[in-house]
Amino acid sequence: MQVVYDPRHVLHDPVTEVQYGVPMPMYEVPARAESIRAALLADDSFSFADPVGHGLGPVTAVHHEGLVRFLGEAWGLWRARGGGGSMPPQFMPDTVLHPAMREGMGEAPEPSAAVGRIGYWCWETMTPLVAGSYQAARAAVDVALTAADLLLAGDAAVYGLARPPGHHCPRSAFGGYGLFNYSAAASAYLADRVGRVAVLDVDYHHGNGTQQIFYHRADVLYVSLHGDPDRAFPYFIGWAGERGAGPGEGFTLNLPLPAGCTNDRYLAALDTALERVAEHSAAALVVSLGLDTYGQDPIADFALSTDVYHEVGRRVAGLGLPTLVLQEGGYFVPKLGENARTWLRGLLGRPLDLRPTPG
């Protein structure tokens, strides 16, 4: 299996996120991708390829031009205010545009001040920008699109090893650790070229950004298994009753799952998801591969074990669709590489081959 990877992901390396008002070390760190890279390099089932630049077109195909413009200039604007000098070397909002602020008064204009603009375009407090964030995010999109090109050229399955994850980014905002929704960009890119596409999002967290981007479309099906938003981030989206709207009615399927979700419970929900994907008659499948469903993940509450990832990959392969796998979450770094390798080996039809955790 070809693996597309770009070392520029390390340019996005903020140190502090804020959860429920508490500053804490980032969970979404460069070591995540490097642990996966190391595990795949040690397995001759995988070979590495470099990404090719695809320009901004596929980014603005799924994101508001104003968001893309802001992210392109955000760090320069912050530096001009003194940020990164005597101020902390990262930039995040203190004020976010809550819909209730302007209820009944129409949309807010985008302010001109950088600190106002970041609250206009960002929706939470866990995605600080640093000097290299935009470059890393653009590289991640190119990883996804290059992997899509390899799929279009005839590969049965391709893996894009990218970060920061993008599935929490809707059309007109960034957040949820990510800047650009590369799974959505690749899905739209594939849909333009092959017609119907299915997105299977197996990250622990609901991919609110991907759902929003395709909510009104019938050609791109979005199916997600995730922690119930009643208790799990991103809280306000991912409910079972959300099924798409307009022409997209019936083309979103959410399968919220309980805390402590076991391997068996998960596989039963996966079968429901795969049935819906099979009905879609897609020409290609995009998997948003989050491995924060793992039992030891520090920011999630499922109870999956490494061996079940092999079975999940095997069942996804049973669809018989050209499959683009794009890395999203997964925060227990000591097992992340092995979990990804096991999932991908299942997809490839290679035998389960559990290896001890390095170190």
Q: Which amino acid is present at 115?
A: V
CB closer to Zn ion out of 14 and 329: 329
Smallest gap from Cβ 290 to Zn ion, in A, equals 4
Burial label, 279 (beta-carbon count in 10 A; 0-12, 13-18, 19+): exposed
CB closer to Zn ion out of 146 and 181: 181
Smallest gap from Cβ 203 to Zn ion, in A, equals 4
Q: Which of 13, 28, 142, 203 binds Zn ion (CB under 5 A)?
A: 203
Q: 150 to 179, contacts with Zn ion by CB under 5 A?
A: none
Smallest gap from Cβ 310 to Zn ion, in A, equals 20
Smallest gap from Cβ 226 to Zn ion, in A, equals 8
d(Cα 277, Cα 255) in Å, to the nearest integer?
13
Q: 271 to 330, contacts with Zn ion by CB under 5 A?
A: 290, 292, 329
The reply to whether 6 sits near Zn ion by the rule CB under 5 A is no
How many C-beta atoms lie closer than 10 Å to residue 107's C-beta?
Answer: 8
CB closer to Zn ion out of 232 and 282: 232
Smallest gap from Cβ 157 to Zn ion, in A, equals 22
**Helix, strand, coil shares of the chain as percentages rounded to 5?**
40, 15, 45
CB closer to Zn ion out of 209 and 248: 209
Burial label, 171 (beta-carbon count in 10 A; 0-12, 13-18, 19+): middle
The residue count for binding Zn ion (CB under 5 A) is 6
The site map against Zn ion for 326-355 (x = CB under 5 A) is ---x--------------------------
d(Cα 261, Cα 274) in Å, to the nearest integer?
18
In the sheet with 2-5, reading across from the earlier edge strand, the strands are 47-49, 2-5, 157-161, 323-327, 284-289, 197-201, 220-227, 252-257
Active site residues: 168
Q: Which of 205, 280, 310, 335 binds Zn ion (CB under 5 A)?
A: 205
Q: CA angle, corner 136, sides to 134 and 137, nearest 5?
A: 65
What residues have CB less than 8 Å from 105, skipping those under 6 apart?
none
Note the residues at the interface with Zn ion (CB under 5 A): 203-205, 290, 292, 329
